[in-house]
Amino acid sequence: MAVILKGKELEEYNKTRYSDQWLTSAEHRLNSDYYKRDHNIDTLQTLLGAGGDKVLECGIGTGEFFAMELARGGKSVYGIDFSDLLLNDCRARFSEEGFTVRLGMADAQKLPFKDNVFDASYAIGVMPYMEDLDAAVGEMLRVTRPGGIVVFDMMNLWHPSQFINYWYRAFEASRFGFGMIDGLKRFKKSLGLNTNFKKRPEKVNYNLISPPKMLKAVKRAGSKFRAMGYNVLLPLDMPILGRAGNLCRRFPYFEKGLKDNKVLKYFGAKLVFVIQKG
């Protein structure tokens, strides 16, 4: 049976296993490509263009993609994560480049900061691991000053490739699926095709979020927001297809052009929320 973690077990897994494996994971290795995508570039520009310079990244990880760029852009960067290993890696990267980063070990759902102390706060690739969305969104808004912005992305349950991706991984994590998919991968490899994941993933540890669920959390927080959808209806990194499955690149209009479409944006693989605190 696939093991889909929830509650305390999910929290424990994220703390002790997921975070520390992030550095060596296939996901991370593929990231240089991933982070050049439109939704990440737009997110970065939004943060660079925001007023003030004190920014907080929740779930900063190695900090190499967003936080480092923001430091290069003159921002004063703070970060929290619950992995010691990743925080140490992040600290080393910043000092190598001659930047200061202020880091702390904390849960994004319970931030150790006073109210209204940051000009902006953001979380990228982190919401899927939140058990309590209201708390995660609410905490970022709490620590951000009035007029400041909060930015985060989510993986959309309504997008076909995310949905298939999720169940593929759940199947792969099952005893039955592992044998079959391992065989398929060896076959793909023998044909010289890319196989993204070499090791059996032991657990499925992320949540797909539906737009209404996220909208509820955002509206409950009670501020003005903008939601943008990316990769609308197009396949995105289905492990079964490897990189060949990312057709978005060939259809730039669907990748980005529909990000503001009132209805279609909610069928994007990624939704990015930009909230201005009232």
Ligand X SMILES: C[S@@+](CC[C@H](N)C(=O)[O-])C[C@H]1O[C@@H](n2cnc3c(N)ncnc32)[C@H](O)[C@@H]1O
At which residue do the structure tokens 């052009």 appear? 257
Residue 83 found at the interface with ligand X (CB under 6 A):
yes
Q: Which stretch binds ligand X (CB under 6 A): 80-88, 167-175, 230-238, 239-247?
A: 80-88
Considering only CA atoms, give the Rg of the chain: 18
Q: How far apart are CA 70 and CA 44, in angstroms?
A: 8
Q: Which of 200, 197, 207 is nearest to 173 (CA)?
A: 200
Nearer to ligand X, 64 or 172 (CB): 64
- The residue written with tokens 């279609």 in the block is 264
Query: How would DSSP label each residue in 192-244?
Result: T---S--SPP--B----B-HHHHHHHHHHHT-EEEEEEEEETS----TTTGGG
Stretch that binds ligand X, among 57-65, 93-101, 165-173, 255-263 (CB under 6 A): 57-65
Continuous H helices in 24-173: 26-29, 31-34, 38-49, 67-72, 84-96, 133-143, 160-173
Query: Applying CB under 6 A, which part among 42-50, 118-126, 137-145, 236-244 lies near ligand X?
Result: 118-126
Candidate residues 10, 37, 43, 61; the one interacting with ligand X per rule CB under 6 A? 61
Q: Quick one: which of 125, 138, 148, 239 contacts ligand X (CB under 6 A)?
A: 125
Give the Cα separation of 116 and 138 in Å (integer): 12
Task: Give the residue, chosen from 5, 10, 22, 47, that forms a contact with ligand X under the rule CB under 6 A.
Answer: 22
Q: Which of 44, 70, 86, 127 binds ligand X (CB under 6 A)?
A: 86
Q: Interface with ligand X includes 10 (CB under 6 A)?
A: no
DSSP 3-state helix, strand, coil percentages of the chain (rounded to 5)? 45, 20, 30
Stretch that binds ligand X, among 59-67, 140-148, 152-160, 208-216 (CB under 6 A): 59-67
Q: Which is nearer to ligand X, 66 or 158 (CB)?
A: 66
In the complex, least distance from residue 216 CB atom to ligand X, rounded to whole angstroms: 20
**Interface with ligand X: number of residues (CB under 6 A):** 20
Coil/strand/helix, residue 159: coil
Binding stretches for ligand X (CB under 6 A): 14, 19, 22, 59-61, 65-66, 80-83, 86, 107-109, 124-126, 129
